[in-house]
A and B are shown apart, each in its own frame.
Chain A
Amino acid sequence: MVMGTLSMADPGLADPGSGAPLPGAMRRPWEAAALRASDDALTDLYAAHWVGLVRLGALLLRDGSRAEEVVQDAFVAAYPRLARLREEGTALAYLRRSVVNGCRSGFRRHGVEERYLTFVRGSADAPGRKSGDSAETTALRRRDDAALLEAVHRLPQRQREVVVLRYYSDLSERQIADALDISPGSVKAHAHRALTTLRSTLGDAS
């Protein structure tokens, strides 16, 4: 190592986030083109789906911050293939499946369920409690919403996922089957069991 010659501007150490050359021969022309395509796809898909996917995650986890982490991880993991997925028209389905899977493991790993139940019973930042409506009818509707949402989150995991994907994301049975990697028949069965349970639960509560 020669300590006396300190280069002022070694292009090999240019800012990796700026699109400047990487050290040595690590960046090939085709790699640069692929990275640009991925960057473009990321920008477009983020703009189109970030909010919706976080909201989906928040409904599954009942934890908005954790949902952001899960969706961020999904984008990061999908990044190398985002351009191809967008071209194929399958990017949203891919990301949605990643988010559902991430929420499933996140739900187990971080004790979200416990926090969710605490939150549903009265936490100020519960989804559905931020809109600021004050009319009496709205208050009653919120109470009903809270009871219904709590019942949804007491459902078995798979039923809960089917309910959220069906009645929030408005997906078809085929799309839900794809997102959950189960058969359409199973989707139908889970949905029926979930609705039966919910009706029973809400009926018992009223």
Chain B
Amino acid sequence: MTNRPGPDGFEQLEAQLGGALSRAADAVRPDDRLPHIRAAVSPTRRRPGSWWAPIAAAAAVAAIVVGAWIGLRPGAAPPLIPGIASTTAPVSPAPNTAPSTGRTGSATSAPTATVPVALPVYYLAPPGSSGGRLGLVRVFVPGQLPADATVAQKADAALAAAMTVPADNPNRFVAAWPAEVTAHYVALPAPEVGVSLSGPGVKGLTEQAQRLAVQALVWTVTAAVQQATAPVAVTVASGGPIFETVGTNVFKRPAAQQVFEEVAPIWVDSPYAGQAFAGGKAVVVTGLACVQEANVTWELRQGGSVVRQGHTMASSGCPQQGSWSVDLGTLAGGRYEFRATEVSMKDGSVDFANVVPFTVG
């Protein structure tokens, strides 16, 4: 292929190289990632300053999750995010959003083009043992949103997902909200954002669980609007407090150095629960951890049996969240469960476990 003279005596080899590399390259059919690049460089992420940095990181991971999803499931539509009516139908306008933009549709308007998204949603995870603690787990929920979805639509979709514990998730997230209670984003004068609950949370949670259940909504909505430090006003439309011990108020995420007080020890960003990998593709598990000595213990299980196990180090130890990854390589087809755990330094018991099921082939 090359028309440049190479070193003497290599003409035949050079011709072979050009042909072999060209044929190998021609066989590569890249997916379209322009929407993900656009999302990654959206204006709110270009501004100087640091308040959005954690959200930018989350969005970058989300883009990877979406990209991986698209790459691994060609031709298939992502599952729906709770609250999003259909993959092509317009999103129903949420209360208190901005209809004047003309982006929200009605039941009779033309279908709106949708794009795959993976919204960061926060759930309240129980401890793995009596010595552990409750904490928030970030889950990237895949789904479809209109290509021109507004901030309000994104926030409503994320809040809808946060209100319902995923039924097929093995992590036994705490169900803090009755099925009939909904949450909607409310636009407030900057820098505040609002969340309007249709009713209070479930009764009988511990005080800590009540507080963190509200914080799960705070983390979720601030991630959706990409304003990590925004104060969030939470109101209950039916009146009364949010929980027995938590009244309506303005809440915030903790300062960076206090984040460890709210987050669960281990997050798994990819794969998401139920993700299907094509056969022959390497499976790489990634996440964040705030664990002792930055040590993440993991197991890969199949049919209840441990087929592989190991340890990996996060990039930093608690009180900071460090990133970690485990390259599982190419796996044989089947159903798997990846289990990342924090093991007690005292007695070796499991203080926390984050379990993600996925399939290959």
Cβ contact within 8 Å between B25 and A55: yes
Cβ contact within 8 Å between B23 and A10: no
Cβ contact within 8 Å between B33 and A50: yes
Q: Which of B67-104 contact A (CB under 8 A)?
A: 67-68, 71, 96-101, 103
Report the Cα distance A101→B149, complex, angstroms: 35
Report the Cα distance A110→B281, complex, angstroms: 13
- Report if A80-B46 is in contact (Cβ < 8 Å); known contacts: A8-B98, A72-B67, A170-B1: yes
Cβ contact within 8 Å between A75 and B1: no
* Across-interface contacts of A54 in B (CB, < 8 A): 28, 30
Please, how many residues of chain B have a CB less than 8 angstroms from a CB on the other chain? Answer: 80
Q: Which of A116-156 contact B (CB under 8 A)?
A: 118, 123-131, 144-145, 148-149, 152
Report the Cα distance A167→B1, complex, angstroms: 7
Closest chain A residue to B194, Cβ basis: A6
Please, how many residues of chain A have a CB less than 8 angstroms from a CB on the other chain? Answer: 78
Q: Does B179 contact A (CB under 8 A)?
A: no
Q: Which of A54-93 contact B (CB under 8 A)?
A: 54-56, 58-59, 63-65, 67-69, 71-72, 75-76, 79-80
User: Which of A26, A58, A71, A191 makes the CB contact (< 8 A) with B25?
Assistant: A58
DSSP class of A's interface residues: helix, strand, loop or mixed?
helix
* Across-interface contacts of A56 in B (CB, < 8 A): 25
User: Which of A1, A20, A152 makes the CB contact (< 8 A) with B233?
Assistant: A1
Cβ contact within 8 Å between B37 and A42: yes
Q: Does B192 contact A (CB under 8 A)?
A: yes
Q: How would residues 191 to 208 of chain B score, 1 for a CB under 8 Å from any chain A CB and 0 otherwise?
A: 111101000000000000
Cβ contact within 8 Å between A13 and B7: no
Report the Cα distance A62→B130, complex, angstroms: 47
Q: Which of B13-21, B292-300, B337-345 contacts A (4 or more CB under 8 A)?
A: B13-21
Q: Which of B218-259 contact A (CB under 8 A)?
A: 225-226, 231, 233, 235, 248, 250
CB A126 to nearest CB in B, in angstroms, measures 8
CB B53 to nearest CB in A, in angstroms, measures 15
Cβ contact within 8 Å between A22 and B47: yes
User: Which of B2, B24, B43, B330 makes the CB contact (< 8 A) with A128?
Assistant: B24
Cβ contact within 8 Å between B190 and A17: no
- Report if A167-B17 is in contact (Cβ < 8 Å); known contacts: A10-B187, A115-B329: yes
* Across-interface contacts of A205 in B (CB, < 8 A): none
**Apart from A3-B233, A12-B189, A58-B24, 16 more pairs, CB < 8 Å:** A6-B196, A14-B98, A16-B42, A18-B148, A27-B43, A46-B34, A51-B30, A54-B28, A68-B71, A72-B67, A115-B329, A125-B281, A128-B27, A149-B24, A166-B2, A168-B25
A-B residue pairs in contact (CB < 8 Å), sample of 7: A18-B148, A23-B190, A27-B43, A54-B28, A80-B46, A111-B329, A114-B329
List the 4 closest A-B pairs by CB distance, nearest first.
Answer: A9-B98, A127-B24, A128-B24, A168-B21
